[in-house]
Structure 1
Amino acid sequence: MNRTLFIIILIAFNIAIDQISKVIVRTTMIKGGRGQINVIQDYFQLIWVENKGAFLGMGSDMNPTLRLIFLLILPTLVLAYVIYYIIKTKELDRMSLIAFCCIAGGGIANVFDRIVFGQVTDFFYINLGGVFKTGIFNVADMSVTIGMVILLFSGIFNSKKKENVSV
């Protein structure tokens, strides 16, 4: 498959899955946790909230101008650069390319929400009884996180591979 087409499809897939999940949540749930759904008892729940900030609501109390700069304009510029970088950098290994596409797709999906709705729809919540607990998040957040983890492992794997070659 053409590399650029692969990039476009993977980014579009991340955006589509996120936006479809958010449409389902907005049309079938009650906002604010009153209609929470226990998927796996209290461990994994669906709770619909709207987030005016970034990760875990950070920045939601910023004045509107700062929020526009830090949560819309700056991320848009960074995402544009990431897309430019992955299209132009032919030396990226497949795992790094997939990671960057996940990060870009998730980022674009959340920026889209901020542009269209003025806030981001979040709905996943995990609480493993004090061992592990998340804030409320969405599919785009998962895409970005998975992309970052893949990028981290790809970097570690590639550096170990280079060490073995040079020894």
Structure 2
Amino acid sequence: MTQNTKNKLWPLSLSVLVVALDQITKALVVKYIPLLTPFSDNGIIEIFGKYLRLIHVRNKAVAFSMGAGLPDSVRFMLFSVLSLMAVIIIYIVYFRNNEFTKLQRWALCGILGGGLGNLVDRFFRWPDGVVDFIDCYFFGIFGWERWPTFNIADSAVVVCGIIFIISFIVQAVHDSKNSKSEASK
């Protein structure tokens, strides 16, 4: 096995870890925390008072419940089948691209692990939706008292996505400085 192949395979462990942690936490939530309903707040577990709570809700759409009003068949195609195809395409690009830095590979695998974690729910918890359970106080910013409830997979996508974007910005700045210093020689 070449060093390049090892460099591409090792970050996949992050994808596996994210999917495992995501599915284990979701299974625990489903087993031990009752589904939150508009008529009952039974099952809210306060971790840091109103600032961080665990609750059990289901999201049949995507981020911020976008697309919740679409028919079931359309939601399934858009949020499950097309998402799976996108994940497969990204993994193909991941293995064919030799230009990603080590940090970019790790970040991309974290994003893909989060995507796979939610895809497991979309296929195996259909039509109930993705299990979300982390509920944070949002101090009324944007008129929201609470941030939309999320899960481990969502966290991985956001955190690793930010790292991925920042790494490209840092790389572009670095490349720009190098090209300027080369031009001045």
2:71 alignment partner in structure 1: 63
| 1:83 and 2:83 are equivalent in the alignment | no
Q: Match of 1:31, SS?
A: coil
Candidates 164, 170, 173, aligned match of 1:151: 164
CA contact (8 A) 2:59 2:131 kept: yes
TM-score (norm 1): 0.94
CA contact (8 A) 1:59 1:67 kept: yes
> CA-to-partner distance for each residue in 1:100-155, whole Å, 9 max, x for gaps?
11111100110110100111000001114324741001000001101210111101
CA distance in structure 1 between the aligned counterparts of 2:26 and 2:178, rounded to whole angstroms: 46
Moved more, 125-134 or 51-60: 125-134
CA 79–56 in structure 1, closer or farther in 2 if over 3 Å, else same: same
CA distance in structure 2 between the aligned counterparts of 1:154 and 1:61, rounded to whole angstroms: 36
| 1:13 and 2:17 are equivalent in the alignment | yes
CA distance in structure 2 between the aligned counterparts of 1:3 and 1:88, rounded to whole angstroms: 13
CA distance in structure 2 between the aligned counterparts of 1:31 and 1:152, rounded to whole angstroms: 35
> CA-to-partner distance for each residue in 1:5-32, whole Å, 9 max, x for gaps?
3133121111011111111111111111
CA distance in structure 2 between the aligned counterparts of 1:151 and 1:129, rounded to whole angstroms: 28
Overall identity of the aligned pairs, in %: 26
CA contact (8 A) 1:7 1:87 kept: no
> CA-to-partner distance for each residue in 1:62-96, whole Å, 9 max, x for gaps?
11221122101111111001111111112200111
Q: Match of 2:131, SS?
A: strand
Following TM superposition, the consecutive aligned residue runs of length 4 or more in structure 1 with deviations greater than 6 angstroms are none
2:109 alignment partner in structure 1: 101
1:30 alignment partner in structure 2: 34
Candidates 135, 153, 157, aligned match of 2:148: 135
Candidates 116, 121, 127, aligned match of 2:124: 116
CA contact (8 A) 1:56 1:137 kept: no
Moved more, 86-95 or 39-48: 86-95
CA distance in structure 2 between the aligned counterparts of 1:5 and 1:55, rounded to whole angstroms: 29
Report the RMSD for the aligned CA atoms in angstroms: 1.5
Ranges in structure 1 where 5+ consecutive residues have no aligned partner: none
CA 4–152 in structure 1, closer or farther in 2 if over 3 Å, else same: closer
TM-score (norm 2): 0.85
CA distance in structure 1 between the aligned counterparts of 2:86 and 2:11, rounded to whole angstroms: 17
